[in-house]
Chain A
């Protein structure tokens, strides 16, 4: 029979365009947020992180925005490339430094060449 699995949100973007991947979190006590990229057949890889005392943090071609008021996190990828195609996970944790990250379900990014 047909298997039922997680229906990951999918974002399709034209190569060269900017991508925005969104994530909502529920724990108002969360103090640290992180984005991971998981390519097919590989483990999740760290992209960028941000603490709750910041609203924005930039890396190379990536920017993370944090809106604590509405508990929303976003990852912006500039000039999206085919190599950016992957599943992207957000994760959060309270600032205890000793508890595991809590992962979201993930968003699949497909880059159209």
Chain B
């Protein structure tokens, strides 16, 4: 299995630009999680989906952030417009339904100038 796949691995953009991060969960996994990791705040849960349905988005910082999961094999996290304080590593994780273990992707390192 290829594991959780994220793209791009690195993204550098300018303030105000739209950023789209992509995630392909492990095949057969029903739950998907988006996390943000910074030195200041550590690992934060932004949003998670069960069976493509968003369950809890209380971790999403503000309306500039949105996430979608149009099908079981693809999810996006969008930031529009991006700001320098959004600079972080964004991780996607997935797991099988009713299993606790989450498997993480390699992350997308975002730098907003």
- Measuring CB to CB, which residues of chain A are less than 8 angstroms from any residue of chain B? 3-6, 32, 34, 36, 42-46, 49, 89, 93, 95, 97-98, 100-101, 103, 105-106
Report if B12 contacts A (CB, 8 A): no
Which listed residue, A4, A44, A97, touches B99 by the CB 8 Å rule? Answer: A97
- Measuring CB to CB, which residues of chain B are less than 8 angstroms from any residue of chain A? 4, 31, 33, 38-43, 45, 48, 50, 56, 91, 93, 97-107
Q: How many A-B residue pairs have CB under 8 A?
A: 54
- In the complex, the chain A residue whose C-beta lies closest to that of B47 is A100
Are B40 and A97 in contact, CB atoms less than 8 angstroms apart? Answer: no
A contact patch SS: loop
With A43-B104, A43-B105, A97-B98 in contact, is A5–B39 under 8 Å at CB? yes
Are A100 and B40 in contact, CB atoms less than 8 angstroms apart? Answer: no
CB-based closest 4 A-B pairs? A5-B39, A43-B104, A97-B98, A32-B100
Are B102 and A42 in contact, CB atoms less than 8 angstroms apart? Answer: no
Q: How far is the CA of A101 from the CA of B48 in the complex (A)?
A: 11
Question: Can you list 25 contacts pairing A with B, beta carbon distance less than 8 Å?
Answer: A4-B40, A5-B40, A6-B39, A6-B42, A32-B100, A43-B91, A43-B106, A43-B107, A44-B43, A44-B91, A44-B104, A49-B100, A49-B101, A93-B100, A95-B100, A97-B100, A98-B31, A98-B50, A98-B97, A100-B33, A100-B56, A100-B102, A101-B100, A101-B102, A106-B42
